[in-house]
Amino acid sequence: MRRILKYLLRTAVVLFILLNIVVIFHAYKFTHFYNNGEIKIKAKQDKSGWDITKEMLFGINAQKNKDGLPDSAVNALTLYTKDSIALEAWQASVDSSKGTIIMFHGHGGTKAGNSAEAAAFRKMGYNTFQIDFRAHGNSGGNTCTIGYDEAEDVKLAYDYIKSKGEKNIVLWGISMGAATITKAVSDYNLQPQKIILEMPFGTIKDAVKGRLKLMGLPPQPIATLLTFWGGTINGFWAFKMQPQEFAKKITCPVLLQWGANDPRVSRSEEDIIYKNLSAANKKMVVYETAAHESLCKKENEKWEIEVQQFLEK
């Protein structure tokens, strides 16, 4: 019996070590994006059975989605982080502007992906400032920390617009962009006039659970391991990335929006964030037909009404 127990214990230890190795590879791939040519990425139709097996075991190499050139009405510019990472931004102005909306995309997205929202904001009379987070779009860097270090990117954009004399600054973000806004406000005591948050995750561990759910994988213990290794290999304690706690530092008016069919972010996460918001003027809007996607595109009429009412209040 003792020999059997030793064998089972050794087997369990070996399996746990192997699981951690697989998780480390996946955590690394999930937090890194590359320009074309920086790393070999095969098209789906060119992948062999061994290529697919390697992706299952070691994760998928992710390529940056590049933004095309903006139209003539948009001014492209570059901001630099403290580590000299170049962040590309698009700035567009309207006549008799009511203020400026600074816009932040989600994980794996780009500033161009928010063009429908930007066009709607300009139609409402607001300037827009769209920016690619580090490791995304046309910005430099390869490492994404799911909002932890990207909070600096939010501050850079905010400080730039504020330095131009703008008095009415509104922060808008979707998914990771929304979560990052909460951390930036908490870390840097930013004072925007209003904030619009769309589908922010409650904690980074919740975000990992949502991704695993989409993949059909059990959330535990993989979510905890992915969160731990995702932070460890990138030099930060990922468990501290908690938008639901950062929300307590937000005192300006907030519009929190979420899609009822969202498979990644749960209603309970949004309820906790909403409850923790310290803003006296706050509103939560649920879009009944939307999932984890652009609410502006999915339910455009409702989105425009809710957003415009919030901005003009």
Dihedral sign (CA 251, 256, 262, 266): positive
**Is residue 42's pLDDT more than 90?**
no
Kindly list the distances between the CA atom of residue 37 and the CA atoms of 21, 64, 136, in Å, as whole numbers in the listed order: 27, 11, 15
| CA pair distance 139, 131, nearest whole angstrom | 9
Higher pLDDT, 16 or 125: 125
Among 129, 168, 128, 175, residue whose Cα is nearest residue 150: 175
3 state SS of 42: coil
**Which neighbouring-strand residues pair with 88?**
78
Amino acid 46: pLDDT: 65
Radius of gyration of the CA atoms of the chain, in A: 21
Give residues with Cβ within 8 angstroms of 10, minimum separation 6. Answer: none
User: What does DSSP say about strands 100-104 and 127-131: parallel, antiparallel, or unpaired?
Assistant: parallel
- For 256-279, what is each residue's pLDDT tens digit? 999 999 999 999 999 999 999 999
- For 210-240, what is each residue's pLDDT tens digit? 888 877 777 778 899 999 999 999 999 999 9
Among 233, 218, 236, residue whose Cα is nearest residue 147: 236
| CA pair distance 230, 146, nearest whole angstrom | 9
- For 60-118, what is each residue's pLDDT tens digit? 888 898 888 777 678 999 999 999 999 999 999 999 999 999 999 999 999 999 999 99
* Mean pLDDT for the stretch of residues 195-207: 97
Asked whether 31 and 234 are in contact (CB, 8 A), the reply is yes
Amino acid 206: pLDDT: 94
Among residues of the chain, what percentage have pLDDT more than 70? 96
In the structure encoding, which two tokens stand for residue 160, read together? Answer: 């730039």
Longest CA span, the chain = 82
Of the pLDDT bands very low, low, confident and very high (cuts 50, 70, 90), residue 44 is low
Amino acid 245: pLDDT: 98
**Is residue 181's pLDDT more than 80?**
yes
Amino acid 219: pLDDT: 76
3 state SS of 170: strand
3 state SS of 62: strand
Amino acid 63: pLDDT: 87
Domains and CATH numbers, the chain: 1-30+208-235 (no CATH), 74-203+241-312 (3.40.50.1820)
**Is residue 289's pLDDT more than 90?**
yes
Among 111, 306, 74, residue whose Cα is nearest residue 194: 306
Of the pLDDT bands very low, low, confident and very high (cuts 50, 70, 90), residue 45 is low
Among residues of the chain, what percentage have pLDDT more than 90? 75
Name the strand (E) or helix (H) holding 27.
helix 2-30
Amino acid 52: pLDDT: 67
If you average pLDDT over every residue of the chain, what do you get? Answer: 92
For residue 18, the 8-state DSSP code is H
Segment among 11-15, 150-154, 246-250 with least mean pLDDT: 11-15
| CA pair distance 207, 235, nearest whole angstrom | 19
**Is residue 43's pLDDT more than 70?**
no
* Mean pLDDT for the stretch of residues 23-38: 88
Segment among 44-48, 243-247, 272-276 with least mean pLDDT: 44-48
Higher pLDDT, 3 or 150: 150
Of the pLDDT bands very low, low, confident and very high (cuts 50, 70, 90), residue 51 is low
Backbone torsions φ then ψ of 83, nearest 5 degrees: -100, 15
